[in-house]
Amino acid sequence: MPPYPSTNNLNMKVGIISVVSGYSWAGSEEMWRVFAEEALKNGHSVAVCAQKGITESAEIDEFKKLGGIIFPYQQLNWLKRRFAGSGIYSRFDKIKNWNADILCVSGGAPDMFRNADLMSFLEGSSSRKVYIIQGNEEGYISGSIMRARVKNLYTNALRMICVSQSNATLLERQLAAALPNKVIIPNPIRKRLDNPLDWPESVDGKIFFATVGRYEINSKCQDRTLEAMSTTEWKKRNWQLNLFGSGPDVSYLQDLIRYYGLQKHVYLAGFERDFTKIWTNHHIHILNSRQEGLALALIESMFCGRPGIITRTGGNHELLRDGLDGYVSLGESPEIIHETIERAWNSRDKWENMGKSAYVRAAGWVPSNLGEIILQTITSS
């Protein structure tokens, strides 16, 4: 972790905009939440502009108690989307009129452009700007118009915070431009553990897998995991996979479980807020993704002392080392995922030691004073 300059800028107005939609909370929100609370404790004024579900989440109760300001907004319907596209309507007038010294926008690499009213606001605002890039993927930024406007935003930013080097490298290629203002900072852990959790006992020799992530196959590709584990050989083995999360593809995942005949092996476990409850009873994390920044769920499972089975997506493979902390698939196809899970199964006697290595790796990856580091990075001139 490189050194970060401290700041003597007191009583600054820090505006935060989150573009997450469709969820009451997401792992991507942890970074701005942590530094927002740190900023309030250090005498700054902070206003958060986020979708209504996010602003009503219990996760920001402490932010509110510390005096944080909330500007909720709603998703656009078809009519307001047309008005926003033509510049007649904006969901960001309240944060605009608040006149922040620094604006921090958190989302995926293309999200600023995809929200027309946000893009117009950012292009016209004189506030210094920081962008937190929580995810990126091939093809996310394409076309000359999109590329030019996003490039102008990002190359003129005060800071570009990427949660993984892979995301930053991809973004620079997408823009055909270096981002000298970029810095790599991992997402924070919600609960630091002094030691890994005890290794779970196997009931009748059964192995318990878990996948922690949104029920959203375009990102988390649970569909490919299910296909990879649907072979006749796997159906004869003694294992259970619990899918933790929530999201729009819940019905589709139920249909896939039936389609592949995995009703005795795979279950939708729903959302669990306390990640330590998950990993008390599960042996290994399967997290195959199509697009990532660096998954908070992976950091949390490794902190609990659990190895992972992941795809080489975003920064996940920067954190988890193949053969040391778990297993890395070199591709996202079900065939390659199958080969990796098979490799893991055949060396499951090594999982407990891999879990110990994963804990040490995660504990060193995420600094204990991350809120302070992020605040210094954002508010330093």
CA 223 – CA 257 distance, rounded (Å)? 9
Cβ contact 198:359 at 8 Å? no
Kindly tell me the sign of the dihedral angle through the C-alpha atoms of 37, 41, 42, 46. positive
CATH 3.40.50.2000 domain position(s) in the chain: 13-188+367-379, 203-365
Cβ contact 342:332 at 8 Å? no
At which residue do the structure tokens 């490298």 appear? 169
CA 7 – CA 376 distance, rounded (Å)? 6
Q: In the CATH hierarchy, which top-level class contains the domain 203-365?
A: alpha beta
**pLDDT at res. 45:** 96
Cβ contact 209:242 at 8 Å? yes
For the beta sheet containing 182-184, the strands, ordered from the edge strand earlier in sequence to the opposite edge, are 69-73, 45-51, 13-18, 102-108, 128-135, 159-162, 182-184
Confidence of residue 10 (pLDDT cuts 50, 70, 90): low
In this predicted model, what pLDDT tens digit does every residue of 157-213 receive, in sequence order?
Answer: 999 999 999 999 999 999 999 998 999 999 888 888 999 999 998 878 999 999 999
In this predicted model, what pLDDT tens digit does every residue of 86-145 receive, in sequence order?
Answer: 888 989 999 999 999 999 999 988 888 889 999 999 999 999 999 999 988 888 898 999
Cβ contact 129:122 at 8 Å? yes
CA 261 – CA 76 distance, rounded (Å)? 39
Cβ contact 270:246 at 8 Å? yes
The pLDDT of 301-328, averaged and rounded, is 96
Query: Which residues touch 82 (CB under 8 Å, ≥6 apart)?
Result: none
**pLDDT at res. 3:** 37
% residues pLDDT > 70 (the chain) = 97
**pLDDT at res. 189:** 87
CA 176 – CA 346 distance, rounded (Å)? 43
Cβ contact 319:297 at 8 Å? no
Cβ contact 55:26 at 8 Å? no
CA 15 – CA 98 distance, rounded (Å)? 8
Q: In the CATH hierarchy, which top-level class contains the domain 13-188+367-379?
A: alpha beta
The pLDDT of 66-75, averaged and rounded, is 94
Per the confidence metrics, is the pTM higher than 0.85? yes
Q: What is the DSSP string of 353-374?
A: HHHHHHHHHHHHHS-TTHHHHH
- Decide: helix, strand or coil at residue 210: strand
Chain mean pLDDT for the chain: 92
Cβ contact 183:377 at 8 Å? yes
Confidence of residue 7 (pLDDT cuts 50, 70, 90): very low
Tokens encoding 178: 């270096």
Report how far apart, in Å, the C-alpha atoms of 213 and of each of 166, 197, 272, 298, 333 are. Answer: 20, 21, 10, 10, 19
Report how far apart, in Å, the C-alpha atoms of 151 and of each of 16, 53, 123, 138 are. Answer: 21, 30, 12, 16
In this predicted model, what pLDDT tens digit does every residue of 337-363 receive, in sequence order?
Answer: 999 999 999 999 999 999 999 999 999
Residue closest to 157 by CA, chosen among 93, 114, 109, 115: 109
Task: Give the CB-side neighbour count of residue 241, counting CA atoms within 13 A.
Answer: 25
Tokens encoding 128: 């210094």
Tokens encoding 37: 């609370």
**pLDDT at res. 333:** 92
The widest CA-to-CA distance across the chain, in whole angstroms, is 64
